[in-house]
Amino acid sequence: MEQIPFVPSAPHTLGIELELQLIDPRTFDLTAASDELLAQMANHPIADRVKPEITRSMIELNSSVHEHPMGLLAEMREMRSALCEAADAVGVTVAGGGAHPFMRWQERSISDTPRFQYLAEMYGYLARQFTVFGQHIHLGVANGDDAIKLTRQLSAYVPHFIALSASSPYYEGVDTLFSCCRLNAVNSFPLAGHLPPEVNDWYQFEAHLSQLRTYGLAESIKDLYWDIRPKPEYGTVEIRVCDTPLTVERACQIAAFAQALAVLLKRQPQSEKGLWLAYRNNHFQACRFGLQGSYVTGDGQRLRLIDHLRSVFGLLAPIAEELGTGDMLGSLRDDALKSGNDARWLRGQFHRLRDLPSVVDAMAVAFRGDGGMAAAVGLSGADPTAVARRRVRATSEPLLGAVGVQTLAEPEETLTPRRLH
């Protein structure tokens, strides 16, 4: 059995990856501009941290390693400014969000790298449908055994990460009725899912991967589209379930949440009783209903996810103060409990604007973070709660024209939030 070397990292250090949308500012559809954008940034100091993704309508920002989320936030703001400046130069705009609201996967173009071309050949149309956008969070660990332990412990909180980051309610012009539809595309891949419950240490993980290779099911860890997986060459555990938030501020808040949670789980290991039995249902509930989904605890207690999350924030508060991230977690908590997630904000924008291209415009304004938030959020003197309390029903009909769209009464949790981050 081949051994997999694990490069140690300082525990609880962190970094993030953000997959971002490249938008045509005239149509607000996705545009295949990654090659031009990468060329524009070729001589920039951060050029090595801006990378292509599977289709040419995507770009990825990679942070460096940080001990403190505030340093991460400062870096991400600098990278955002540099990326937006380069995007302006090539005539495109950039947006966050887990899925583009009305793009068509048939029109996507695969990036010209050996791995992406292989994926396109292997997975057919799924590769183009994989034009979805996620945030990956890396947490440093000292060794492989610690990586497997943290992966298992964090698995109970996969629904929390999904619901906090959810920003993909619309897909191909339809309200999917999901808070996060992005993970439905990820779950189409045969090795999607989670760490096998029987894997308890690094040796067992090596044995599992060796068996996959022997059976011809996987060539490397890259083929494991797990919700959380070890990343031995970085010395990290990688959380992969988050949609890309609409702002880098929210992305860094969620990273701070992950760091504090890792510290809590290190100090207070939790029982895994019932974890895997409820895993898929908890995952679905978070994707479908976001913060209002049901959550089944390891001991079988069933409650609203937002109520469980409230208790988790209570446990994390003293740790966050100790780490110096109390303000970041406090903002994340307050926004989640009072305003909801980005999916709710996006639905509020559609109910106000009745036009998905205008929603994409608001997404791009929000990402820039340059003072144009009032236009994006729609707070120019108007009461945002004055919009009609309606939600579009998921049908095969596109939402690009609001006239004649079938709707149903909108529940209270989908009202327009008063602010974005």
Q: Which of 14, 222, 31 is nearest to 113 (CA)?
A: 222
Q: Along the 421 residues of the chain, how does pLDDT read in single tens digits? A: 789 999 999 999 999 999 999 999 999 999 999 999 999 999 999 999 999 998 999 999 999 999 999 999 999 999 999 999 999 999 999 999 999 999 998 889 888 888 889 888 888 888 888 899 999 999 999 999 999 999 999 999 999 999 999 999 999 999 999 999 999 999 998 999 999 999 999 999 999 999 999 999 999 999 999 999 999 999 999 999 999 999 999 999 999 999 999 999 999 988 888 899 999 999 999 999 999 999 999 889 999 999 999 999 999 999 999 999 999 999 999 999 999 999 999 999 999 999 999 999 999 999 998 754 444 544 333 333 333 333 433 333 444 444 333 333 344 444 445 566 6
Are 246 and 133 contacting, i.e. CB atoms less than 8 angstroms apart?
A: no
User: Distance (Å, rounded) from C-alpha 247 to C-alpha 294?
Assistant: 27
Are 141 and 236 contacting, i.e. CB atoms less than 8 angstroms apart?
A: yes
Q: Has this prediction a pTM greater than 0.85?
A: yes
CATH fold label, 13-368: Creatine Kinase; Chain A, domain 2 (3.30.590)
